[in-house]
């Protein structure tokens, strides 16, 4: 009788063994989760909260996730930014809502930073000021004039604008200002498609810090670069005439820049704004920038003037925050994404990699910012009926 071979039935999995493996996997997963949570808790516990009274114009940078991650991981701080106007910072008592002191003040204009370090003018209702431990200029961007290719071509024929290595400079500001004061039209310089007189739109210097900075530049140019108590009175009438010819003005540079981009050359042939605006726009809206980049022209007045955001520290934690702006990663982020020049004016960054054409590596010809009393007189005069 043939031998019958009976195959062994497959062994059934050991249920106990399977359960043990699952249990081990669950324990490992739980341990990993607890470990990660512990790491984050340790980081959180090592992070000190720093409080700042902050002027406008840099909100996007200060809210940037990468910026705040660098502050937390490298410097052990997380920051709470409370919004203040420059005017209130130098007049009111700079105290948090809960009554505690701030660790730093981040001004949007150097003149307010300088003024805060002087004794409070009690006769004008100014509150006592806190002692400034440290600080200085931190984020910088120059005043520029944004225009269009057709306009710039015409201004070059008038020997008002020149080009050097792809960068456009207004090399005869006096001539441009005189054209405006004389009431020359765009047609007078060969641009038939733009109606009206030559003009440069800006924000209102009476109500806007950027506008005041620009008018401070104009006054410096009219005074030959040295504004003093004598020549300011000689040139204020000329500045007032320029102001009156400017017509309607926006109050915020962001609104003006947006209108310039959306309405084009016919509506806004030339506007005043900061260099940082075009870099911020190119990064936040690359498709929009691609549509206009071949037509836009960035003009650097010779001379121009810096808009400087300055930190005044009021505590040791404030010092940590201020020192963080010397970090190369923070400086590169501030420049490449938001257009703020930091450190030395030429910076350690490469402007060719920022993705915007027509920007110089360094800003070489500038005038100094004006003192607070000069600005006050300028604004007072322009406000007079």
Best CA proximity match to 133, nearest among 317, 346, 290, 277: 317
Residues 181-239 pLDDT 10s: 999 999 999 999 999 999 999 999 998 888 999 999 999 999 988 898 889 999 999 99
Is 70 exceeded by the pLDDT of residue 5?
no
Beta bridge partners of 272: 145
Is 60 exceeded by the pLDDT of residue 12?
no
Q: How confident is the model at residue 29 (pLDDT cuts 50, 70, 90)?
A: low
C-beta contacts of 244-248 below 8 A and 24+ residues apart: 245/180, 245/181, 245/183, 245/197, 245/199, 246/199, 246/200, 246/201, 246/202, 247/199
Residues 365-380 pLDDT 10s: 999 888 899 999 999 9
- Encoded tokens for 363: 């800003």
Mean pLDDT of 287-311: 96
Residues 314-364 pLDDT 10s: 999 999 999 999 999 999 999 999 999 986 554 566 787 788 999 999 998
Is 60 exceeded by the pLDDT of residue 274?
yes
Please tell me whether residue 207 adopts helix, strand or coil conformation. coil
Instruction: Give the pLDDT confidence score for residue 1 in this predicted structure.
Output: 44
Mean pLDDT of 81-108: 96
Average model confidence (pLDDT) across the chain: 89
Is 90 exceeded by the pLDDT of residue 249?
no
Is 80 exceeded by the pLDDT of residue 22?
no
Q: How confident is the model at residue 4 (pLDDT cuts 50, 70, 90)?
A: very low
Is 80 exceeded by the pLDDT of residue 23?
no
Is 90 exceeded by the pLDDT of residue 28?
no
Instruction: Give the pLDDT confidence score for residue 45 in this predicted structure.
Output: 54
Instruction: Give the pLDDT confidence score for residue 246 in this predicted structure.
Output: 86
Is 90 exceeded by the pLDDT of residue 74?
yes
- Encoded tokens for 284: 């936040």
Instruction: Give the pLDDT confidence score for residue 32 in this predicted structure.
Output: 65
CA distance 274 to 60: 15
Which are the contacts of 168, defined by CB distance < 8 A and separation ≥ 6?
Answer: 152, 161, 162, 297, 298, 299, 300, 358
Tell whether pTM > 0.75.
Answer: yes
Give the pairing of strands 77-83 and 48-54.
Answer: parallel
Q: How confident is the model at residue 166 (pLDDT cuts 50, 70, 90)?
A: very high
Residues 33-59 pLDDT 10s: 555 554 444 444 578 999 999 999 999
Instruction: Give the pLDDT confidence score for residue 6 in this predicted structure.
Output: 44
CA distance 35 to 342: 39
Is 50 exceeded by the pLDDT of residue 16?
yes
8-state DSSP, 102: P
Domains and CATH numbers, the chain: 46-139+310-334 (3.40.190.10), 142-306+360-383 (3.40.190.10)
Instruction: Give the pLDDT confidence score for residue 352 in this predicted structure.
Output: 78
Instruction: Give the pLDDT confidence score for residue 355 in this predicted structure.
Output: 86
Give the pairing of strands 304-313 and 366-367.
Answer: parallel
């Amino acid at each position: 009788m043939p031998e019958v071979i009976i195959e062994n039935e497959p062994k059934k999995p050991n249920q106990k063994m399977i359960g043990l493996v699952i249990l081990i996997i669950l324990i490992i997963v739980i341990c990993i989760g607890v470990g990660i949570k512990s790491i984050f808790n340790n980081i959180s516990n090592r992070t000190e909260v720093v409080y700042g009274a902050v002027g406008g114009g840099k909100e996007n940078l200060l809210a940037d996730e990468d910026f705040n991650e660098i502050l937390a991981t490298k410097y052990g701080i997380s920051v709470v930014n409370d919004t203040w106007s420059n005017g209130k910072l130098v007049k009111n008592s700079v105290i948090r809502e809960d009554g505690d002191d701030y660790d730093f003040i981040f001004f949007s204009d150097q003149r307010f930073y300088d003024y805060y370090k002087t004794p409070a003018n009690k006769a004008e209702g100014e509150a006592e000021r806190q002692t400034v431990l440290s600080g200085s200029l931190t984020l910088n961007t120059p005043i520029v004039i944004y225009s269009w290719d057709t306009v710039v071509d015409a201004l070059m024929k008038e020997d008002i604008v020149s080009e050097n290595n792809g960068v456009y400079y207004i090399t005869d500001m006096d001539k441009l200002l005189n054209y405006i004061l004389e009431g020359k039209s765009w047609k007078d310089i060969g641009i038939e498609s733009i109606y009206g007189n030559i003009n440069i739109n800006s924000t209102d210097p009476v109500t806007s810090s950027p506008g005041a900075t620009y008018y401070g530049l104009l006054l410096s140019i009219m005074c030959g670069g040295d504004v003093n108590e004598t020549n300011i009175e000689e040139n204020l009438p000329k500045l007032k005439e320029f102001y009156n010819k400017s017509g309607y003005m926006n109050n915020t540079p962001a609104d003006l820049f947006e209108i310039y981009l959306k309405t084009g050359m016919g509506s806004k042939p030339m506007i005043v704004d900061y260099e940082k605006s075009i870099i911020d726009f190119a990064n936040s809206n690359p498709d929009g920038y691609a549509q206009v980049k071949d037509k836009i022209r960035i003009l650097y007045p010779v001379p121009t003037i810096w808009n400087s955001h300055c930190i005044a520290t009021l505590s040791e934690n404030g010092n940590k925050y201020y020192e963080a702006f010397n970090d190369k990663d923070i400086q590169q982020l501030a420049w490449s994404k938001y257009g703020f020049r930091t450190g030395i004016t030429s910076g350690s960054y490469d402007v060719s990699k920022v993705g915007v054409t027509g920007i110089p590596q360094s800003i070489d010809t500038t005038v100094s910012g004006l003192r607070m009393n000069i600005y006050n007189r300028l604004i007072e005069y322009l406000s007079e009926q």
